[in-house]
Amino acid sequence: MSARGQVQLDGIVKKHGAFAALKGIDFEIKPGEFFALLGPSGSGKSTTLRILAGLDAPTSGRILVDGEDVTGADARERDVAMVFQSYALYPHMTVFENIAFPLEMAKRPKAEIGPAVREAAAKVKIEHLLDRKPGQLSGGQQQRCALARAIVRKARLFLLDEPLSNLDAKLRLETRVELKKLQRSLGVTAVYVTHDQEEAMTLADRMAVFMEGEIRQIGRPADVFAQPNSIEVAAFIGSPPMNLIPARYQDGSVLIGGRRLPTMLQTHGERDVVVGVRPSAVRFEADGIPATVEVVENLGDAAILDMSLAGTALRARYDRFPLPREGDAMGVTVRPEDIHLFDPVSRRRL
Amino acid sequence: MTAKRLRLGILIGVSGLFLLAWIFPILWSLLNAFKTEQDVLAYPPKLVFSPTLDAFRDVLFGATSILPNLASSFIISIGTTIVTMALAIPAAYALARLRIPGKRWAGFYVLATQMLPPVGIIIPYFLILRNIGWIDTYQGIILIYLSFSLPFAIWLLVSYFEDIPFEMEEAAFLDGASRLKTLRRIILPQVQGGVAVTVVFVFLNAWNEFLFAVVLSGNTVRPVTIAMFNFVSVEQTLWAKLAAVSALAMLPVIVLGVVAQKHIVKGLTVGAVKGGGRR
């Protein structure tokens, strides 16, 4: 059981005519891992999931599941289960029939199907809704029904295509936690597509950041957050997004607003760089670089300050009360370990 | 308020007029079916008369019984409907779903066949059937009916299939269903309204067809639309019997319509995919 659900993608390319939707995707997922495919819409993450599911065929490349080449195999031969963004419940069947459908297709004996359906329904807490039709369920209940249908067969792979995006904000947070618990308790490999970096950060053991048909970075969410390897990844991960300020690097420090900020990078020489600073890493000190508060967005327990610093915009998280007012002048600084440096030409991390 | 009432009154009045114009020949015919031949021709028309089932008895069990013709009509209509649906459902599904080169042209061709005036093709059809010896045979007339019912059924069904989101099918594939099983278990139950509508139309067209039947049939295959004219001759027209046959010929169509109505309404209430699934 534990060895099931190992996935390997080798040089997956998908072309639509001249347009390359995927330009060579490689990654490996370990059994039992929660792996997120994160990226903006049109970045190729959903296409990758569909290729993994067998719903689309790659133009070239190989897909291996548990060491077996499934590149040419039909979706139904792959033993994978999927939750769709739209849930894709069968509207003419009851919840029970929906959940039972994969077992029926697998020709499991009737005596086995009933208990298995009830067990799956109980896991997602919809055992009292088995006689309803999908049209009589709320959005959250429909989503649970789709989850139950996916877990009932105990497939070796569990694919989720933006499963939370049709839920309202509060329900989304609740379901997120339950989804993680569910995956843990089942010990099943999960591949999760999302454009919401927060979902990927909280759910995934590891994640792949997709952009323009390529994987830009793979790693543990915390590592990707702490060490984004390019400007694009840095700008995509984190909310509010990282400040990216063009500046001049000189012998182990950067020049911003006429002041020198020491960096971790300690090389001699001078060059143009892009300085990345997370809003939460901005510190306020009276003798810091002078900046003017332009807009205060009060979040309740903290605020996001939109500031102007030597002609460039800077967003900072501020959690001391009382909050500053618009127009106030404040001194800001950043610790060397919180400064990310990028090459403005290659856009890679320095 | 009064303006609104006035408008409603006019609306009801005008619809009533249309209804009257539509229902008058049917009522007239139905009433005649229960009259004697003398009463039919009475002048001024008799609104009050003693109803009789003589006409029905004569056309059903008399010397010129139309029972064989009703049977003939049923064989043709049911045969046409079964073969049409058996071919149209997979064809419409394919047109709606699969990526086939020339799909749009196929769709246009299907529609174009509907634009041909039937009289223009009746002579070639006659020659074809005569050459293969299928004049006055069920297979011959069903084959010809297929040539217009099939494109029509496909065209009607495609739109119903297109309304089913792709994801629904993909979910079924991942659940382990084959394409045929998906069609049968997932797609067809959701388009049953469309199938019901199509069945009604195809059956209706085959049941009411006259022009092709009169040219391509004979004494063996003689649907009720043709047999009706047994009661119209040079010497006289047996109005009561003609009316009785008309009433009998209408009956199956009305029954089918009433039965299918339930399914048609059911077909409209489907829809449990949130956010629309079409790519």
Residue B15 has pLDDT above 90, yes or no: yes
Same domain, A247 and A160: no
What's the pLDDT at B278?
34
What's the pLDDT at A1?
44
Does residue B263 contact residue B56 with C-beta atoms inside 8 Å? no
* Over residues A126-135, mean pLDDT: 92
Same domain, A222 and A257: no
* Over residues A122-131, mean pLDDT: 92
Same domain, A78 and A142: yes
DSSP states along A208-242:
EEEETTEEEEEE-HHHHHHS-SBHHHHHHSSSSPP
Q: How many percent of chain B have pLDDT more than 70?
A: 94
Q: Residue A347: inside a domain, yes or no?
A: no
Of the pLDDT bands very low, low, confident and very high (cuts 50, 70, 90), residue A204 is: very high
Read off the CATH number of the domain in which A82 is found. 3.40.50.300
Q: Residue A230: inside a domain, yes or no?
A: yes
Same domain, A278 and A207: no
Same domain, A218 and A92: yes
Tell me which of A47, A76, A172, A191 to substitute to probe the interface with B (most B C-beta atoms closer than 10 Å): A76
Same domain, A156 and A298: no
Of the pLDDT bands very low, low, confident and very high (cuts 50, 70, 90), residue A3 is: low
What's the pLDDT at A222?
94
Cβ-Cβ pairs closer than 8 A, A with B, add up to 86
Helix axes B192-208, B67-97, angle to 10 degrees: 140
For B218, the 3-state DSSP assignment is coil
Fold classified for B18-268: MetI-like fold (1.10.3720)
Cross-chain Cβ contact B270/A149 below 8 Å: no
Q: How close B177 gets to chain A, by Cα (Å)?
A: 6
What is the extent of the structural domain holding A36?
7-236
For B274, the 3-state DSSP assignment is coil
Last residue of a domain, one of A236, A268, A288: A236
Which residue of chain A has the CA closest to B169?
A88
Cross-chain Cβ contact B172/A90 below 8 Å: yes
Q: Residue A84: inside a domain, yes or no?
A: yes
Last residue of a domain, one of A173, A202, A236: A236
Same domain, A195 and A145: yes
Q: Residue A210: inside a domain, yes or no?
A: yes
Of B3 and A242, the structure prediction assigns the larger pLDDT to A242
Same domain, A229 and A328: no
Same domain, A92 and A129: yes
Cross-chain Cβ contact B170/A75 below 8 Å: yes
Last residue of a domain, one of A236, A269, A291: A236
Residue B270 has pLDDT above 50, yes or no: no
Residue B82 has pLDDT above 80, yes or no: yes
What's the pLDDT at A334?
93
Query: Is B188's Cβ below 8 Å from some Cβ in A?
Result: no
* Separation CA A132–CA A239 (nearest Å): 40
Of the pLDDT bands very low, low, confident and very high (cuts 50, 70, 90), residue B271 is: very low
Tell me which of A105, A151, A156, A158 to substitute to probe the interface with B (most B C-beta atoms closer than 10 Å): A105
Q: For chain B, what is the radius of gyration of the CA atoms? A: 24
pLDDT tens, A298-320? Answer: 998 899 999 998 888 999 999 88
Residue A250 has pLDDT above 50, yes or no: yes
What is each CA distance from A313 to A277, A279, A299, A305, A320, in whole angstroms? 12, 11, 20, 10, 21
Residue A161 has pLDDT above 50, yes or no: yes
Read off the CATH number of the domain in which A294 is found. 2.40.50.140
Q: Residue A348: inside a domain, yes or no?
A: no
What's the pLDDT at B18?
94
Query: Is B276's Cβ below 8 Å from some Cβ in A?
Result: yes
Q: Among B165, B176, B272, select the one facing A102 at the smallest CB separation.
A: B176
Of the pLDDT bands very low, low, confident and very high (cuts 50, 70, 90), residue B129 is: very high
Q: How close A180 gets to chain B, by Cα (Å)?
A: 22
- Return mean pLDDT, chain A: 91
Domain boundaries, chain B: 18-268
Contacts of A133 in chain B (CB under 8 A): 272
pLDDT tens, A57-113? Answer: 999 999 999 999 999 898 888 999 999 999 999 999 999 999 999 999 999 999 999
Cross-chain Cβ contact A88/B277 below 8 Å: yes
Of the pLDDT bands very low, low, confident and very high (cuts 50, 70, 90), residue B267 is: low
The 10 Å Cβ neighbour count of residue B278 is 11
Total domains in chain A come to 2
Same domain, A14 and A39: yes
Same domain, A179 and A285: no
Give the phi and the psi of residue B91 in degrees, each rounded to 5: -65, -45
* Separation CA A124–CA A115 (nearest Å): 15
Q: How close A26 gets to chain B, by Cα (Å)?
A: 23
Same domain, A335 and A286: yes
